[in-house]
Amino acid sequence: MSGVQRPALVAPSPPDGTIAFWLPSLQDGGAQRVFLTVAGLLHERGYDTEVVVGEGRGPMRDEVPEGVPLIDLERHRLQRALPDLMRYLSRTKPRCLISTIEHANVLAVAAVRLGRHRTPIAVRTANTISLLSRKTNKPTDRVHYFMTKPLYPLADVILAPSQGAATDLERYVGVESGRVRVLPNPVVGPDLLAAARQPVDHPFFDTPDRPVVLSVGRLVEQKDHATLLDAFARTRRHHDARLMILGDGPLRPMLLARAQELGLQPGVDVDFPGFDPNPFRFMAAARLFVLSSHFEGLPGVLIQALACGTEVVSTDCPSGPREILADGAHGRLVPVRDAGALGEAMAAALAGPARPPAPTSWSRFSHESAIGNYVTLIDDLCGTADRRSPAVPSAPAAPVSARGLPAHSRPTDRGLRVRRWDRLTSYLVVRSGHREVG
């Protein structure tokens, strides 16, 4: 070692005031888990954090970090929470508001722009938005995705969990390259590693000569467990393995029927145990972890499996797996919706000795590594608030051209954005029943 001593890094002092995290609900989901984790980690570092939710019921209510207040607006229909969110911002005056999930983001930008207190705001997408928007059939969801295009550019900062998701979001909402900031999720912490050491009580793990292939995720079309079942049936021709899929969702009956069509006997060859609050012990005990998704944002389960020391196979879907696995250095990548390629990759992994991933595969997603990005984000947002004049209007003013006409009367991108803003805020006001909120 050289005798040069590096100066110690001094952590920035937390700003005065509340850092508010806005979520639509506390239903189980990766975005909710990320924000609860971030709020807790910042609270441990001396930040005054609050979690504000449209509806506080849900399985993740018990996971709100100790010492972090939960503000429940008690609105089952999120669009009706607009006056309540505006009232919260007006009365609490947080230093900044950080929002995630598209329909919550749209409401957050509207609340900031319509309200009297101009709160600095960051909006975060959790997925590959262009693909997600194509998959929805709900009219209200389609409206929310449409609203992101004029409203997201009005946020102070736009966030995405991976570079692929960021690039996709820039193209979707029509902002310049580099406008979306990439903040990797804080996925791996001491609690996860401790939970992974807990014992597994399931008969699939009682016979070591029959390796277990594990997948974790909601039983929805995006996760493409149907292709996983087809691929596993091919793998079974060469290996006497078992498949376990942890998670709940509307496709459970269809997946059970498909398993039987493929000759996979439920409870013997394949099992769907449902949601488990500690999937990490299953990850640590499994021989192989598989992600079969059509698309993601930054799949936390893939990072968690690596941290649990499990070999992985993943589809090369947009976005995240290729970035996480470093172009295949930390695990096998296969094309999306290709049961043959997925089955071959699973068979190849099971044929040789287990290859535990190196800690470098997940270290950049540790709590300590990732939380620093959020500290920088908050410093930037609070700096925005300090620089902003109190006289700035809550809604964008129409600039005047040299001819004395409003600039948005010309066919410019900004003009189109302002006209869309006028229509969309009117829509939000009508849907929420808002009149005046002070």
CB within 8 Å of 196: residues ≥ 6 apart:
280, 281, 283, 284, 307, 308, 309
CB 105 within 8 A of CB 180: no
CA separation for the pair 60, 54 (Å, rounded): 14
Give Cα 165 distance to the centre of its chain. Answer: 10
Average pLDDT of span 333-359? 96
Give Cα 40 distance to the centre of its chain. Answer: 17
CA separation for the pair 116, 91 (Å, rounded): 10
Average pLDDT of span 222-250? 96
Question: Domain boundary residue among 328, 346, 364?
Answer: 364
Q: What is the pLDDT of residues 110-156, one digit of tens each?
A: 999 998 778 999 999 999 999 988 887 788 888 889 999 999 999 99
Q: Which two tokens stand for residue 395?
A: 């809604």
CB 283 within 8 A of CB 205: no
With respect to residue 268, please indicate whether it lies within any of the assigned structural domains. Answer: yes
Share of the chain above pLDDT 90, in %: 74
Question: Domain boundary residue among 364, 392, 415?
Answer: 364
With respect to residue 64, please indicate whether it lies within any of the assigned structural domains. Answer: yes
CB 243 within 8 A of CB 229: yes
How far are the Cα atoms of 212, 242, 257, 264 from residue 260, in angstroms, in the given order? 18, 14, 5, 5
Asked if residue 136 and residue 46 are part of one domain, the reply reads yes
CA separation for the pair 198, 240 (Å, rounded): 26
With respect to residue 66, please indicate whether it lies within any of the assigned structural domains. Answer: yes
With respect to residue 437, please indicate whether it lies within any of the assigned structural domains. Answer: no
Cα angle, residue 344 at apex, residues 340 and 347 outer, rounded to 5°: 140
Question: Would you place residue 7 in the very low, low, confident or very high pLDDT band (cuts 50, 70, 90)?
Answer: very low
DSSP, collapsed to helix, strand or coil, labels residue 87 as helix
Question: Domain boundary residue among 364, 389, 406?
Answer: 364
Q: What is the mean pLDDT of the chain?
A: 86
Asked if residue 214 and residue 326 are part of one domain, the reply reads yes
CA separation for the pair 241, 90 (Å, rounded): 58
With respect to residue 274, please indicate whether it lies within any of the assigned structural domains. Answer: yes
For residue 385, the model assigns a pLDDT of 59
Asked if residue 30 and residue 162 are part of one domain, the reply reads yes
Count CB atoms within 10 A of the CB of residue 109.
27
CA separation for the pair 127, 41 (Å, rounded): 23
Structural domain range at position 85: 18-186+372-432
What's the structural domain count of the chain?
2
Q: What is the CATH number of the domain that holds 206?
A: 3.40.50.2000
CA separation for the pair 372, 383 (Å, rounded): 17
For residue 11, the model assigns a pLDDT of 52
Whole-prediction pTM value?
0.80
CB within 8 Å of 396: residues ≥ 6 apart:
113, 154, 418, 421
Asked if residue 141 and residue 74 are part of one domain, the reply reads yes
